[in-house]
Chains A and B, each alone.
Chain A
């Protein structure tokens, strides 16, 4: 190893403590390495988080009404979800997981289309090419590789596109995460890996998932800059993701970011988190809430008053009401669709099976 390479190795190391710009009580903590986002960006982050949380509670309510089969809540993770999405440029792509419906909506996908998967109507309800969002990924960590391949193709084609891929702390133990980090670093692919460390993979806590000092350390061995950030600090998440996107776009390759946050609800509505975590722990995280933190900061700076707050709340409420209303109808599905999208053209066997099913369904009606 040459001296420059050794210097580079320490350049890859994440900080011991998560980077932040606004403390839990709303106090600014300037960091020379991170620029505080502009006021209008901070306001957009705030609005996005309020809308995101309202969407999340609405989706949870829809599970109780039987309108959604299941919903994995991202309550508590608004800063990571919204902070990262708002740092993307229009041409960039998002590779989300099942947890990230809030991020997909923030990216501009129709919320009803986002919930098509969880309602049980079809596996992906939106056209990925419309908002540059890949289908939400259920098999853990597999989306990391798609993001790398997509970003590499963009470079080959001479397009300025960066992939942002979201994964959870548990998913960092999967082989695909490691293959993706390695491929991205070797190829200098324009990718940003954002690990949302929300403390648990279903019931398994972080200390059973890794022995590394932090998940951000996982980038170091692959040779990429690795950043540890306070995942409940929307300003800081936005700033580090924006930096990473700029690095990637400049041809400097991938970045791994670990955002330390907490999942306030159970894994999904079907899970019972009280079986594996203490109430005290959950309550302690309530004091670090990403929304009230930014609200305090904006209020102290005179950027947010009661009137503005009321408008923001009203808008989130309107969005939720519209979603509720649109989800409150029984959808009609065409069984013939089953055979339409398996191959570019249905095979002879599929045409035969489609006819069988059509016959079965007419018999049922007769």
Chain B
């Protein structure tokens, strides 16, 4: 039974609840990875699941990422629905070959005969003071690969719902968990289903500019929208949720209303996700745009050491600066810009 409505949970707690409910409802679901059993995962997302469901359903694998993904592929070929964990974003790279050459492609290679309902959970992004290789934003490696779905929740109720929908999906899903939002609390309604695994949602309505964001950067973007309101700009905020496929419909409809757009993410800007959004908007909304689509992103540098990360991650000010630069009739260009 999926229990009571409206529980207050952290984002990590909501994921835990989603995994527990999926394990309880579908025998084919199983969870494995590094330290996900007895310990409950380094972020405790799988806390208590091995004790409750037994070590056939939830177990520690040997320490080998390619091995985890590759065996999950074989299990899915044989009718199971593995939900596996990569301990941190940058530690998924040894599994890249299995993800891109097999997980993403086997449906296509076999003309639809082999279906791989695998979910790979990846804690990603910075903002938690992690040492090197613990803070990468790896989303574009996956979104560039046809055959994968890439989703990222930013709120506890979305974490619950998106994870349940990801596990139900017949396609492989890269489920990116923004580490710095793990401890964010919110109400979760386990009965709720989202508008769809591939739909963006409007988190805040506005009329002057559309701010497009996702995952770890969404909180900062919402804060920036509040601050912008004080300066007289009404900002709409879209949470993409699904990075692949991209919900052009929702985003374009908003941008056609507001005429201006800023994409905000913490991953580096060059060839980053914002570049795709900007390109799509210039193709589909050109005549509605009052200004170029701007990107607010991390710098084009390897993820910095913890004591410098606040300079890399886009903060409220960087977003406000971008809003100021959007060729408002009544706003002067920023210092140093023409």
Q: Which residues of A contact B (CB under 8 A)?
A: 122-124, 127-129, 134-135, 139, 142, 144-154, 156-157, 161, 163, 175-176, 179-180, 182-183, 186, 337, 340-344, 347-349
Cβ contacts under 8 Å, A182 to chain B = 62, 64, 67
Contact with A along B49-92 (1 / 0, CB 8 A): 00000001000011010110111111111111010000000000
Taking CB as reference atom, which chain B residue is nearest A125?
B111
Contact between B67 and A145 (Cβ–Cβ < 8 Å)? yes
Given A145-B98, A149-B78, A347-B245, A341 and B170 touching (CB < 8 A)? Answer: no
CA distance A142 to B95 in the complex (A): 10
A-contacting 9-mer, from B99-107, B155-163, B287-295, B319-327: B99-107
B13-21, B34-42, B112-120, B204-212 - interface stretch: B112-120
Nearest residue (CB) in A for B100 is A139
Q: B107 — which chain A residues lie within 8 A by C-beta?
A: 341-344
How far, in whole Å, are A148 and B98 apart by their CA atoms in the complex? 14
Given A179-B62, A182-B64, A182-B67, check contact A341 B111 (CB 8 Å). Answer: yes
Using known A-B contacts A128-B114, A135-B110, A337-B111, determine if residue A344 contacts B74 with beta carbons closer than 8 Å: no
Residues in B whose Cβ lies below 8 Å from that of A147: 74
Q: Enumerate the 7 nearest inter-chain pairs by beta-carbon distance, A residue then B residue, closest first.
A: A149-B74, A145-B70, A149-B71, A179-B67, A153-B78, A150-B74, A123-B109
Q: Which of A156, A161, A344 contacts B170, CB < 8 Å?
A: A344
- With A128-B77, A157-B79, A342-B146: A179-B70 Cβ-Cβ less than 8 Å: yes
Please give 4 more A-B residue pairs, beta carbons under 8 A apart, in addition to A153-B79, A340-B111, A343-B107: A153-B74, A156-B75, A182-B67, A337-B111
Q: Is the CB of A148 within 8 A of B71?
A: yes
Docked CA distance A179–B73 (Å): 14
**How far apart are the CA atoms of A343 and B242 in the complex, in Å?**
15
A112 to B75, CA, bound (A): 28
**Alpha-carbon distance A127/B106, docked complex (angstroms):** 12
Cβ-defined partner of B70 (8 Å) among A123, A149, A161: A149
Smallest CB separation, A242 vs chain B (Å): 23
Q: Name the one of B64, B74, B82, B147 contacting A179, with C-beta atoms under 8 angstroms.
A: B64
Report A117 CB to chain B, min CB distance, Å. Answer: 9
Q: Name which residue of chain A comes closest to B109, CB basis.
A: A123
Q: Are B74 and A135 in contact (CB under 8 A)?
A: no
From the candidates B71, B169, B198, B249, name the one contacting A152 in the complex (CB within 8 A).
B71
Query: Which residues of B are in contact with A by a Cβ distance under 8 Å?
Result: 30, 56, 61-62, 64, 66-67, 69-80, 82, 94, 97-98, 101-102, 105-115, 146-147, 149, 169-171, 198, 245-246, 248-249
Q: Which of B102, B109, B115, B248 contacts A142 (CB 8 A)?
A: B102
**In the complex, what distance in Å separates the CA atom of A183 from the CA atom of B98?**
15
Tell which of B71, B80, B106 has the most Cβ of chain A within 10 Å.
B71
Contact of B77 among A124, A149, A341, A347 (CB under 8 A): A149
In angstroms, how far is the closest chain B Cβ from the Cβ of A207? 27
Determine the residue in chain A with the shortest Cβ distance to B94: A175
- Choose among B70, B76, B106 the residue with the greatest number of A CB atoms under 10 Å from its CB: B70
CB-defined A-B contacts under 8 Å, sample of 18: A123-B105, A123-B110, A128-B77, A134-B77, A139-B102, A145-B66, A145-B71, A149-B71, A153-B74, A153-B75, A153-B78, A163-B74, A180-B70, A182-B67, A183-B71, A343-B147, A343-B171, A344-B115
* A154 CA / B98 CA spacing, docked (Å): 21
A209: shortest Cβ distance to chain B, in Å? 20
Q: Is the CB of A150 within 8 A of B66?
A: no
Chain A residues positioned under 8 Å from B67 (CB to CB): 145, 148, 176, 179-180, 182-183
Nearest-CB residue, chain B, relative to A147? B74
Neighbouring B residues of A142 by C-beta, 8 Å: 70, 97-98, 101-102
Does A342 lie within 8 Å of B108, measured CB to CB? yes
Which among A152, A153, A183, A342 has the highest number of chain B CB atoms within 10 Å?
A153
For A185, the closest partner residue in chain B by CB is B62
Closest to B248 in A: A348
Q: Contact at A150–B75, with CB atoms within 8 Å? A: yes
Q: How far, in Å, is B280 (CB) from chain A's closest CB?
A: 9
From B62, B147, B248, A183 is in contact (CB under 8 Å) with B62
